[in-house]
Each structure stands twice: as structure tokens, then as C-alpha cells.
Amino acid sequence: MGTSVALGLVLPMQERPNDGAKPTWAEISSWARRGEELGVDTVWLADEILWRVPEWPGPRGWWDCLTMTGAIAASTSKVQVGTWVMSALQHNPGMVVRAAETLDEITGGRFVLGLGAGHRGGAWPSGFRPIRRCRATSRRWRSSCHCCAVRQT
């Protein structure tokens, strides 16, 4: 039985810990196109708002995942483009489905939706149930998205 290995490239989108500088659109798009040239299967864009690490001089922010995913999709032609991993904490399930359908259209079927509960990190409000939120998004996706197959792992 043969197996295949897929190669992915996670594009850096966060402020650097040491000086707070963010990678520019020119840099991020260049890395995505170079990955495509080198034959990577998927370029991934992380979905975070803010990271707080005790060793860093302050909180560090991120470019918006969905906006950047659409831009990367429009600037590439072969590589799959995916969210690594969209947080159920930060997004309304209906808006995730709407964005995913739009990105699937922009990419011509190359979009990969990575969806997760997020990480605790002190960001979840009291009583929040992230797994329920993921299930709600998954149910909404299956019932309303007609653009592509749904695969749960």
C-alpha cells in the first residue's frame, strides 16, 4: 500500500517578538509564490489575534487570516491555500461558512478550511465551550456549503 506525504508551508504573519515588526504583504506573497514554485502542496495562514508570551516585551498581533488568505489565493494559481487553524472562539459559525465558500470560489477549489477550538491561553470567556462552537460551525458547513467536500479528521 502506497502512502503520500503532503508538504505545507506556514506563512509568518505575526509581529516579531524582538522588535514588533510585521512581515509585509510583499514578503508574505513572495514566500507563498516561492513555495508554489518549489512544489509545496499547501500554504497555511494562521488565525490568531494576539499572542502574549511572558518572555516577550509585550503582546504581539497578527495580520487577519481570512483577508490574507484571499489575497494569497488571488496571487497564486496551483498551490492549495488553507487556514491553519481558524478559531471557533473568534468567529461566528455562519460567517466562517460564508468566508469558506467565497475563498473556495476565489481559489477555484484550492481552499482548505482548518477549523479548531483554539487554545486556552486565558482567552476563553467563563463558561465558553469551544468544542460546541466547532460542532456548530461544522453542522452549518455541512448543511449550507455546496462548494466542496467536508472531511473531518
Q: Is residue 151 part of a domain?
A: no
> Structurally, how many domains does the chain consist of?
1
Average pLDDT of the chain to the nearest whole number: 80
Beta bridge partners of 61: 50
What does the pLDDT read at residue 116?
A: 74
**What is d(CA 41, CA 72) in angstroms, rounded to the nearest whole number?**
14
Taking residues 37-61, report their average pLDDT: 84
Residue 22 has pLDDT above 80, yes or no: yes
Q: Where does the pLDDT of residue 49 fall: very low under 50, low under 70, confident under 90, or very high at 90 and above? A: confident
Q: Is residue 1 part of a domain?
A: no
137 vs 7, higher pLDDT: 7
Give me the long-range contacts of 127-132 (CB less than 8 A, separation at least 24).
Answer: 128/89, 130/88, 130/89
CATH number at residue 35: 3.20.20.30
User: pLDDT tens-digit profile of 54-113?
Assistant: 777 777 778 999 999 999 999 999 999 999 888 777 777 788 888 988 999 999 999 998
In contact, 81 and 42? CB cutoff 8 Å: yes
* Domain span including residue 46: 8-144
Q: Is residue 133 part of a domain?
A: yes
Q: Is residue 152 part of a domain?
A: no
